[in-house]
Amino acid sequence: MSQINLDSKIPSGPIEDKWTNHKFDVKLVNPSNRRKFSIVVVGSGLAGASAAASLGEMGYHVQMLTYHDSPRRAHSIAAQGGINGAKNYRNDGDSVHRLFYDTIKGGDYRSREANVHRLAEVSVNIIDQCVAQGVPFAREYGGLLDNRSFGGAQVSRTFYARGQTGQQLLLGAYQALSHQIHLGNVELFHRTEMLDLVTHEGRAVGVVARNLITGAVQSFSGHAVVLATGGYGNVFYLSTNAMNSNASATWRAHRKGALFANPCFTQIHPTCIPAGDEFQSKLTLMSESLRNDGRIWVPTEFGDERSAASIPESERDYYLERRYPAFGNLVPRDVASRASKREVDSGRGVGPLKNGVYLDFAASIDRLGEETVKERYGNLFQMYERITGEDPYKTPMRIYPAVHYTMGGLWVDYNLMSNVPGLYVLGEANFSDHGANRLGASALMQGLSDGYFVLPATIGDYLAPQLGNSALGTDEPVFVEAQSQVQERVKSLLAIKGSRSVDWFHRELGKIVWDNCGMARSKEGLEKALVEIPTLRQEFYNDVNIMGHEETINQSLEKAGRVADFLEFGELMCRDALDREESCGGHFRVEHQTEEGEALRDDDQFAHVSAYEYTGDTAQPVLHTEKLEFESVAVAQRSYK
Amino acid sequence: MQVNLKIWRQSGPDSPGAFHNYEVPNASPDMSFLELMDVLNEDLQTKGEEPIAFDHDCREGICGSCAMMINGRAHGPETGTTTCQLHMRKFADGAHITVEPWRAGAFPVIRDLCVDRSAFDRIIESGGYITAPTGTAPDANLILVPKEVADSAMDAAACIGCGACVAACPNSAAQLFTAAKLSHLNLLPQGQPERYKRTVSMVNEMERWFGSCTNHGECSAACPKEISLDFIAMMNRDYVKAQFKQRRFASQT
């Protein structure tokens, strides 16, 4: 079992030359041979759509699977603030090296140097590519591109399209994908959900998926499989992820041999609208860009019942500006989130449930005028008002951290291939670039880097030696067997006919992981969670009630499969959090903190990637580690003071 | 608060549908309309009934999945708002609310409130892009776009593809959707080379699926992103121009 060799395949040579040299060293498939290769891409977000479009343009035959009714609905669409690019258009000292350095430091020295440097290099090409496609980025009056600054950086390198950057980038990729669909290079299978990975002689050869309209279970075969299926934030039930976002594709691949890396690295975003009532189905994020012009504060007094307007300036604590004068309101997300938690836990929270802090725009409105503030954040203010019924131009917003992004994911090497040959993992679904904490405006960058520029350059290395081999037929025993297992699982879920809804189990799981594996984690809490999750899982298999049948749209059935996988994944996440006896980035173990309450890393013991192997028993995963070597940056304790 | 719902149920594309009445006695004014549907569905399952199928995903008003005709209005009574962003505080206690799927020939009902909007994808596939294969792009700042132009392009590009415009139109026309994408791309300098070809392809594809425009303006009134009718005028003008424009000389202004 444990014969796995975690070879990261990092090219040798100076960090600036690794990617350039590697592109020359990998094997290529010549243009006329590419049509002989078939690639299955699962997921149509930024990473999946950009990969499928680019591979289609190169001449590969691509099958694209998405569970959405259209590829354009993928959750990348909801990203608001922007995308980083080391263009140095502002002349403020930015460079590829600075973006690389900021990302490594922001990730609290838990990401792979070579991958991050490549990401920073490619970031400039992404901006060029997106502009050529017609992404309507914000402009200066002279017609040049505008930039804004973002958390964790002291330069302005973030490109944006109002508060809808994710939407516009995704539509750019979706349009390029649509062009390839029109040309016949990409075949689109919408409302089709991957339910298992198929391997043959140790290689990934395809997937089994369910047509969500007819319920038909089908196989898709290819020379390689690409998962671009996003993160696992919905294990917490309440998160800013879309309702359908789930970890089943990556979890199923994990069960088929792919290692899951750093599952305990989750990001809690500091600026979300606090939960209002028990019916809350999801949380809404307010872009981090708001921290550019908003000031965060709480009343100095504990349990202050006055309205924000009647609290005088002298009785307000702008705690981020006070504690982190250099970065102020623009400290990285993990630091800002923990600071809010500290204030709310200490009894200085605001709002009816005392579960938020203020994000105040009064000073900016005075300085810039309401018009300018409206131009920058109008749609966000409108969204806030719709949800809360309060007008942020008049009263400060109430915000609180919420689960937003997951840095962990399937382990991949420098080529973005998992330890299962032929299985590539892109975007949020892999683990490699953000370490223990992701900087703002970097998720869009990574998704597009992986899809537009990295995978198209590296996949040939795996495909070239296979020239002449046709893809396995879907009538081969491995597919037939995988298909019947999927059908069996669907039927057995429907047959339980217990007394509780799928959502009930999801909410219960969410409570366990939020309380014990959320913003602050302790040995005691995690051990408790590791008892509670398996118990809940057992209860699920005895008592879940799924109405309806399988030959039609059945949203409870879809969700049941996803929650069942979360019930296994959640256990791995807690196990990893328990094993990682240090605090770093989004992973905060209360036992490991400085006197000032900051995260305390342990580089001697934990400067590694923890990658777990599935053994058939969720209580007994095998841990493999990849040592993280830092050759180009000096490892230091992060300071934003 | 308490609300009375009359909801369209239909078990499959070819099955007959009918309205069913439901009551939600324990709604909260702060919940969204979709959270009301969640509560109703959970209640139905407890009673052993099949939950109501409806499309939804981001619940932030941006993915364009949710699509409900509420009291005869696409996305309900609040202007510039998707169903997921509509909150119960906009309804009176004891309100009677009718909920239907989008009604349009090009959007067949799949089940209950879910419809098939693939026709929109076909329109985009026919030409809703700028041909710019990965890897060929010049430095981003070599392409100057006046701020006003970028802003108008963004106004058009804000379309979320939900289909409310089609559902609201008495002719089930898709002019606003098509014009929004055409205007986004045709306004930008990068979009000029394919401008007229794109316009003809997309308009022709649109007409394969959807009805004709008779200038009611219901589309724009129903649009959750409040996309302007001006873009339809722009599309029509480009379509007419495309008929006699010598494309070989298209670079001449």
Please report the pLDDT score of residue A585 as a whole number: 92
| B236 and B211 housed in the same domain | yes
Please report the pLDDT score of residue B253 as a whole number: 56
| B102 and B167 housed in the same domain | no
pLDDT exceeds cutoff 90 at B250? no
Mean pLDDT (chain A, rounded): 95
| B134 and B52 housed in the same domain | no
pLDDT exceeds cutoff 80 at B247? no
What is the Cα Rg of chain B in Å?
A: 21
3-state secondary structure of B106: coil
Are residues A556 and B12, on separate chains, in Cβ contact within 8 Å?
no
Q: What span, in angstroms and rounded, lies between the C-alpha atoms of B111 and B116?
A: 10
Q: How many percent of chain A have pLDDT more than 70? A: 100
Long-range contacts of the stretch A630-634 (C-beta < 8 A, 24+): A630/A104, A630/A109, A630/A113, A631/A15, A631/A113, A632/A15, A632/A100, A632/A113, A632/A117, A633/A100, A633/A101, A633/A104, A633/A105, A633/A109, A633/A113
Which residue in A333, A338, A398, A537 is the catalytic one? A333
| B159 and B242 housed in the same domain | yes
Q: What span, in angstroms and rounded, lies between the C-alpha atoms of A215 and A196?
A: 15
Are residues A143 and B51, on separate chains, in Cβ contact within 8 Å?
no
Q: How confident is the model at residue A1 (pLDDT cuts 50, 70, 90)?
A: very low
pLDDT exceeds cutoff 70 at A2? no
Structure tokens at A301: 């007094």
pLDDT exceeds cutoff 70 at B133? yes
| B170 and B54 housed in the same domain | no
Which residues in A lie closer than 8 A to residue B120 (C-beta atoms)?
70
| B125 and B103 housed in the same domain | no
Number of CB pairs, chain A paired with chain B, less than 8 A apart:
215
Buried b (16+ CB within 10 A) or exposed e, A14-25: ebeebbeebeee
| B62 and B128 housed in the same domain | no
Please report the pLDDT score of residue B83 as a whole number: 98
Q: Which of B111, B128, B161 is the last residue of a domain?
A: B111
| B158 and B204 housed in the same domain | yes
Are residues A132 and B136, on separate chains, in Cβ contact within 8 Å?
yes
The CATH code of the domain that includes B129 is 1.10.1060.10
Chain segment A562-574, per-residue pLDDT in tens: 999 999 999 999 9
Enumerate residues 6+ apart whose C-beta is below 8 A from A432.
A111, A112, A115, A412, A416
CA–CA distances in Å: residue A493 to residues A214, A535, A563: 17, 17, 11
Chain segment A197-225, per-residue pLDDT in tens: 999 999 999 999 999 999 999 999 999 99
CA–CA distances in Å: residue B7 to residues A106, A151, B21, B33, B113: 49, 46, 6, 13, 9
Q: How many percent of chain B have pLDDT more than 70? A: 98
Please count the structural domains in chain B.
2
Domain that holds residue B223: 118-249
The CATH code of the domain that includes B42 is 3.10.20.30
Q: Which of B49, B79, B111 is the last residue of a domain?
A: B111
| B127 and B14 housed in the same domain | no
| B90 and B159 housed in the same domain | no
How deeply is A498 buried, as exposed, middle or buried, from its count of CB atoms within 10 A (0-12, 13-18, 19+)?
A: middle
Structure tokens at A54: 């680019």
Average pLDDT over residues A410-430: 98
Pick from A73, A132, A280: which is nearest to B190 by CB? A132
Chain segment A11-52, per-residue pLDDT in tens: 999 999 999 999 999 999 999 999 999 999 999 999 999 999
pLDDT exceeds cutoff 90 at A377? no
Q: Which of B111, B141, B161 is the last residue of a domain?
A: B111
| B88 and B128 housed in the same domain | no
Which residues in B lie closer than 8 A to residue A503 (C-beta atoms)?
38, 42
Residue identified by tokens 């243009």 is A31
Q: How confident is the model at residue A379 (pLDDT cuts 50, 70, 90)?
A: confident
| B156 and B185 housed in the same domain | yes
- Is A333 part of the annotated catalytic residue set? yes
Are residues A175 and B124, on separate chains, in Cβ contact within 8 Å?
yes
Domains of chain A: 269-403 (3.90.700.10), 484-606 (1.20.58.100)
Residue A622, amino acid: V
pLDDT exceeds cutoff 80 at B249? no
Average pLDDT over residues A92-101: 97
Chain segment A575-607, per-residue pLDDT in tens: 999 999 999 999 999 999 998 888 899 999 999
Mean pLDDT (chain B, rounded): 96
Query: What's A565-619 look like in SS3?
Result: HHHHHHHHHHHHHHHCCCCECCECECCCECCCCCECCCHHHHCEEEEEECCCCCC
